[in-house]
Chains A and B, each alone.
Chain A
Amino acid sequence: MSDTDAQRRQFLKTSLGAAAVAIAPGMLLFETARGNTEAASSKVRWGMLIDTAQCTQGCNDCVTACNKENGLSGGTAPTDSQWIRKIDLKDISSGHELSLPMMCQHCAEPPCVDVCPTAASFKRADGIVLVDRHRCIGCRYCMMACPYKARSFVHEPLTDQKPDVPRGKGTVESCTLCVQRIDKGQQPACAEACKNKAILFGNLNDENSEIAKKVRSVVSVQVRADLQLNTGIRYQGL
């Protein structure tokens, strides 16, 4: 690099710095403090692989983490919201027991979306099935259509909701795969909280992702695969 080049570079650097200092106070700071302005893309298909062998009986860490992250009460009465629940299974003939988390399966062909009369239930481009509460009229068709009993209805007025997770009376809700975290590049709260690493979260469409590799190499099943909903949540060892 010649001497003149170096001088030019130095000049550009200093003048840019001076310009930034001159403009910085005021609006520019807000302009640069933008969050995620990119829309969810259909190149991504978010999914989970749940390894039932790693999921210990009696451990409720994923449920607790979900309740904390999303501001749920944690109650289990029929009228309480439950986005994720632990279920215990027992094969009667062999006595083999299993415990696993069950939540919205984020179907590629979600029945809840099919039946929603207001298009409040919808599937985001990246495969996450959500309720748009601005449109939800609380008719609960989606709750009846869901084969996984994954959706809850909010019966009572709520207070002190989380800023990232608005929830309110008269609308249906369910596991959102923690969209507010995913959009920031984080993992869903349940996957992060699972100390046995039973929940593997990732992009099913990216063949180099850990989850895609594992789905290729181990046998995993979809719950009620006969319904051909192509769920985003898969179970290993079920």
Chain B
Amino acid sequence: MRLLVSLLLCLCIPMTWAADANAPKLDIGKGGHCVRDPQWMRKNHMHLLIHQRDETVRKGIRDDQVSMKNCVDCHASLKDNSVIARDDSFCVGCHRYEAVKIDCFECHSSKRQTALAMKDEK
């Protein structure tokens, strides 16, 4: 009996984690499955980005798939074309929740390219 209860408990814990009521609900923009599955990306996107940034800046390898520009292009909100403008924006939402400061967008554009191109034409 004790074994059964502990087994049940073990099963329940991950479920309660998964259903974290405070977890941010993000505006994922277009979203979609591009690089890896979302759970993997949540944990590891920074490793991809830091690797890619050196490849791009120092060697000139401009792989579209893991480029900052393309990430922003898909994940920027469809309402304001930005990944940092509002509390539920794609990047800001999680980073506030986890209390991790992002300084990428002090230099990098946080807006969708097509939106910027339209602004340029006007």
Contacts and interface: CB of A to CB of B under 8 A. Distances in A.
Interface stretch (A2-10, A37-45, A48-56): A37-45
Contacts of A33: 64-65
B62 A40 contact: no
A133 interface: yes
Interface stretch (A86-94, A157-165, A197-205): A157-165
Contact of A163 (B53, B54, B62, B113): B113
A163 B64 contact: no
Interface in A118-168: 122, 124-126, 130, 132-134, 157-158, 160-164, 166-168
Contacts of B107: 133, 158, 161, 166-168, 171
Given A27-B33, A30-B34, A168-B107, A163 B69 contact: yes
A166 B108 contact: yes
B59 A125 contact: yes
A34 B107 CA distance: 24
Contacts of A179: 60
Contacts of B72: 163
A14 interface: no
Nearest to B106: A168
Contacts of B69: 163-164
Residue from the set B33, B67, B69 with the largest chain A CB neighbour count within 10 Å:
B69
A217 to B, nearest CB: 30
B113 to A, nearest CB: 5
A134 B57 CA distance: 9
Given A39-B60, A166-B68, 14 more contacts: A27-B33, A30-B35, A34-B64, A35-B64, A35-B67, A40-B59, A124-B59, A124-B60, A125-B60, A132-B57, A132-B58, A160-B111, A160-B116, A168-B106
Interface of A: 26-27, 30-31, 33-40, 122, 124-126, 130, 132-134, 157-158, 160-164, 166-169, 171, 179, 183-184
A-B residue pairs, 7 tightest by C-beta: A168-B107, A35-B64, A40-B60, A166-B107, A39-B59, A163-B109, A36-B62
